Structure 1
């Protein structure tokens, strides 16, 4: 997978993507959630996250208190010990990983805590979300990191034109 190629394309198309996503907010297609889900399914039939894992290598998720409790229990650590070992508080006062790539990312791009991974990881890249127009800024940002997010926006443009 050519991550640099995707990022270059995403940078070139950022303005176009932003404009398209904003247009969804203005003239909301009746069946938008359905089109989003169809497009998401289409993209993930072709893209395998295990070939990439760029999100795990370059961006860290936010850890909620529920995430911390669930993961620390799984690792048989006290939540405070888990936080001290893996997390830091960022400038927005969010709990995030101390270091990247993610400590839980295995050599083969699998996740060692997949079954208990943070909510942010489970939802990423947010391409199957209802009311997708509520996260336009995030979607544009994700196209720079995630080939699937880039492909999703590209296909959404075509799929909306067809509808």
Structure 2
């Protein structure tokens, strides 16, 4: 898995223009069954992909923490919200609350999440490939092809199942 993760940014960069053009065409066509198809591709991919083997998302990026996330997690950690924010979070250039550092503070040595049951909403929804209105998330999906091998594979599968 380490080799796949190491090669992923270059592979994603190599496919970036092709994928960008694909998603641009896809947006113009407004495929009615796209959400259903992406959900199917997502389920198929995660039948043989185990995030605990990779955890590259947790090692290289930060989720956005909503106010609800901050409240829930700080309560779980028996901390005041302000203390939690000061210790773990900062505002990014888009004014979102994100982790001060990566890898994620809550990532354990075995790639498990020590706050998994109460993790941020962004983590529970990652990689966002099975969400409704997928067409609105193509820029994020394109970015995630550089981070998540499963997303890279799903985009390649989508292009083969739905050529434009």
Per the alignment, residue 65 of structure 1 pairs with 67
After the TM superposition, which of the residue ranges 103-112 and 118-127 deviates more from structure 2?
118-127
What is the RMSD computed on CA atoms of the aligned residues?
Answer: 1.3
Stretches of structure 1 lacking an aligned partner (at least 5 in a row): none
Counterpart Cα distance in 2 of 1:28 and 1:91:
32
CA contact (8 A) 1:35 1:160 kept: no
CA contact (8 A) 1:22 1:133 kept: no
Alpha-carbon shift at residue 131 of structure 1 (Å): 1.4
Per the alignment, residue 147 of structure 2 pairs with 145
Counterpart Cα distance in 2 of 1:50 and 1:86:
23
Stretches of structure 2 lacking an aligned partner (at least 5 in a row): none
Per the alignment, residue 28 of structure 2 pairs with 26
Give the 4+ runs in structure 1 shifted more than 6 A. none
Alpha-carbon shift at residue 29 of structure 1 (Å): 2.1
TM-score by length of 1: 0.95
Aligned length: 162
Alpha-carbon shift at residue 161 of structure 1 (Å): 3.4
TM-score by length of 2: 0.94
Per the alignment, residue 13 of structure 2 pairs with 11
